[in-house]
Amino acid sequence: MSNPEEQQSKRFFIPDFCHTQSVFIVILVAELLAILLSLARFDNENFWTILAFYSLFIQWVALISAACLCLLRGWLRNLSDIKAGTISYVIILLITLIASLLAEMIQQWIEPNIPGTKVNPVLANLMVAAILAAFWLRLFYLQAQYRLRIQAETEAKLQALQARIKPHFLFNSMNILSSLIAIQPDKAEQVVDDLSTLFRASLREHREMVSLSEEITICKHYFHIESLRLGDRMTVDWQIEGDITPYKVPSLLLQPLVENAVYHGIQPLVEGGAISIVIQATAQRLDITIRNPFDAKSHNDRRGNNVAVSNISDRLALLYGEDFTFTRQQLDREYVVNIQLPLSEQDPS
Amino acid sequence: MKLLIVDDEPLARARLISLLNDHPDISSMVEAANGLEAIEQYKDSQPDVILMDIRMPGMDGLEAARHLAQLENAPIIIFTTAYDDHALDAYDLNAIGYLLKPVQRDKLLHSLATANRLSSDQMSKLPRAQRKFISAQVAGKLQMVALDEVYYFRAEQKYVVACHDNGELLLEETLKALEAELSQRFIRIHRSALVAMDKIAALVKTPSGQTVLTFSGIDVQLEVSRRHLPEVRKTIKQLSQR
């Protein structure tokens, strides 16, 4: 029984042309284009006539394109960005083609005697449409990417802060400290050290890359606090194979995942269990697997966890594009998280 | 005064013990790590007061308190809890009083001096929806059965009998209350029977025209009343589709 969670949050990059505001902007931009093209003719006498013709034609194409994109929006947003972009592009070109052919026919019908100009007007229209549509689609895409990035970064920051200042973690740590100060003051000192390491990490810039070994150290500090709290109910098994020194990972990549393993895996189990973290590094790729026992029955609250998971997946997508995998699997009695990353070229500084 | 300290975190227990070590009125302190262990420990050591953490794996403190409260000389229970976002909002804890962790010495001593048994009114405010065990007093001792092990509840004249893996348990609860509480996992098949959905094997028609329900695991047939038959069929169908 496997149940890999699909968590691709869909954010569609093409603006919603069903909105009056967008339609207004389309009209405005189309009109600006008409003015621009009319001015480019350098024909003072016929300027207004030319503008009228251009306006009519461009508005026609632009509004029908917008209407089509509005109607197809529901379908397009379920496709990949590349497919949706290509289809939108083809639609705009088709509409331009049809409109141009119709315009040509009408013109022939009204004034059949005017001989064809040097440049085929249908082809010229198509070229203009092709260039402009490509430009706009690219612009929309970049804008959406930018927005996504800002959003993910802000979320990551906020979330990391909340993760550390998460009331139960804070209060649990305070409880541990107050117990230890009386019983084992030297261990209390160590917990203060663990806590400050964790707080320092969560206050770091979120775009920052840290060495994998640093991230592992942070996880170990975290585990130290939790092992004091959970006693012998929790064991942690690290297996590191290969040379991890060249690998850098986004700061706080693993810690939220091992925290999930503790809170959702070990803590609800009376008998506790073992968390296993296997890291395999080759010359090109890094493979990290975190396993924890999981009892679906004793479990009713998984809300907090998905926020952390989707945030990690967003950050990885920004850093590595398509070149990474991040899977979560809930097996019968076990929860497995796997991350595979390429050797990153990015320099942190 | 004998004390039982219940908390899943060893350090939290250690702190309470260190706070109360030199208390002149306390003759002994024993520990337990969850609700079920607490009930076991209670049988052995018969404490006067239990310091009970609320959030624990397995059986939590509130459920343990509810089971213990059935006893004739129920112990005094003082709850302890760490701040735990909204998880505890649902429980009207003000009705029973509790100590916040880390527990402060004065507050702890004050509660020990003033604590009373939970009144039945307070008990009724403890959550009823999430228990994992059923319990009954048998010859003065508390007998616990995990709900997972229960095949069905059968109403007899005055009692409800829970049939489970290792026999039967007489409960002083009504079938109606059980049905209301356990509707997620149990289904009414007859005026006098409530059945664990995951233990159902099949519906069988007898030669005499009755419909009976069979179980996986035990050789028992229970009659399904005509009134409940459509609902039972629907549930079995949904279960088999899962």
DSSP character at residue B200: E
Q: Are residues B116 and B148 in the same domain?
A: no
Q: Contact A180/B11, CB-based, under 8 Å?
A: yes
Closest CA to B149 of B128, B130, B135, B129: B135
Per-position DSSP letters for A245-305, written without gaps between them: TT-EEETTSSHHHHHHIIIIIITT-SS-EEEEEEEEE-SSEEEEEEEEE--STT----HHH
A293-341: pLDDT as tens digits: 998 776 655 445 567 787 788 888 888 888 899 999 988 889 999 999 9
B-chain residues within 8 Å CB-CB of A268? 57
Q: Supply A263's token pair.
A: 């809170």
Q: Which residues from chain A sit within 8 angstroms of residue B85, using beta carbons?
A: 167-168
Evaluated on CA atoms B59, B61, B66, B71, the torsion sign reads: positive
Give every CB contact of residue A70 below 8 A, 6+ residues apart in sequence. Answer: A16, A17, A18
Of B9, B10, B57, the CB nearest to A268: B57
Residue B15 in contact with partner chain A when CB distance is under 8 A: yes
Q: Compute the distance between CA of residue B36 and CA of residue B233 in angstroms, rounded to an integer.
A: 36
pLDDT band at B128 (very low <50, low <70, confident <90, very high): low
Residues of chain A in contact with residue B7, where contact means CB-CB under 8 angstroms, are: none
Radius of gyration of chain A (CA): 29
Does the beta carbon of B57 lie under 8 angstroms from any beta carbon of chain A?
yes
- Shortest CA distance from B132: residue in chain A: A298
* Structural domain ending residue among the three candidates B78, B98, B125: B125
Task: Say if the Cβ atoms of A167 and B101 lie within 8 Å.
Answer: no
Q: Is the pLDDT of residue B117 over 50?
A: yes
B179 & B237 share domain: yes
**Which position has the token pair 């203009």?**
A128
> Does pLDDT of B129 surpass 60?
no
Average model confidence (pLDDT) for chain B?
86
Residues B94 and B178 in one domain: no
Against a cut of 0.80, is the pTM above it? no
Q: What is the DSSP letter of A5?
A: P
For the domain that residue B114 is a member of, what is the CATH number? 3.40.50.2300
Give the number of A-B residue pairs with CB atoms closer than 8 Å: 56
pLDDT at A39: 87
Q: Are residues A76 and A51 both part of a single domain?
A: yes
* Interchain CB contact of B9 with A (< 8 Å): yes
In a domain, A5, yes or no: no
Task: Tally the domains of chain A.
Answer: 2
**Cβ within 8 Å of residue B140, ≥6 positions away:** B72
Query: In B, which residues are within 8 Å of A171 by CB distance?
Result: 82-84, 101
Could you tell me the CATH number of the domain that includes residue A318?
3.30.565.10
Q: Is residue A50 part of a domain?
A: yes
pLDDT for res B162 = 94
What pLDDT, in 10s, does the model give residues A80-106?
Answer: 888 888 898 999 899 989 988 888 888
Q: Is some CB atom of chain A closer than 8 A to the CB atom of B12?
A: yes
pLDDT in tens, A103-149: 888 877 877 665 555 557 788 888 888 898 899 889 988 888 888 88
The pLDDT of residue A349 is above 50: no
Residue corresponding to tokens 């297996």: A239
Chain A residues lying within 8 Å of B15, measured CB to CB: 175, 178-179, 182-183
Closest-CA distance of chain B to residue A86, Å: 40
pLDDT of residue A347: 44
CB proximity B101 to A under 8 Å: yes
Nearest CA-CA distance, residue A231 and chain B, Å? 6
User: Do B121 and B138 fall into the same domain?
Assistant: no
Query: Do B113 and B149 have their domain in common?
Result: no
- The domain of B173 spans 133-241
Please tell me the total count of domains within chain B: 2
Confirm whether A111 is domain-assigned: yes
Question: pLDDT tens digits for B96-116?
Answer: 668 888 888 898 998 888 877
Do B182 and B103 have their domain in common?
no
Please report, for the domain that includes residue B137, its CATH number: 2.40.50.1020
A179 to B83: CB separation less than 8 angstroms, yes or no:
no
Least confident of A38-52, A173-187, A314-328, B184-198: A38-52
Share of chain B above pLDDT 90, in %: 38
CB pair distance less than 8 Å for B9 and A301: no
- Note whether A34 and A9 are within 8 A (CB): no
> Any idea how long chain A is?
349
The residue of B7, B9, B132, B242 whose CB has the most chain A CBs within 10 angstroms, and thus the best one to mutate to test that interface, is B9
How many Cβ atoms sit within 10 Å of the Cβ of residue A132? Answer: 16
**A68 is a domain residue:** yes
Residue A20 CA: distances (Å) to CA of A23, A27, A45: 5, 10, 35
The whole domain housing A215 covers 166-342
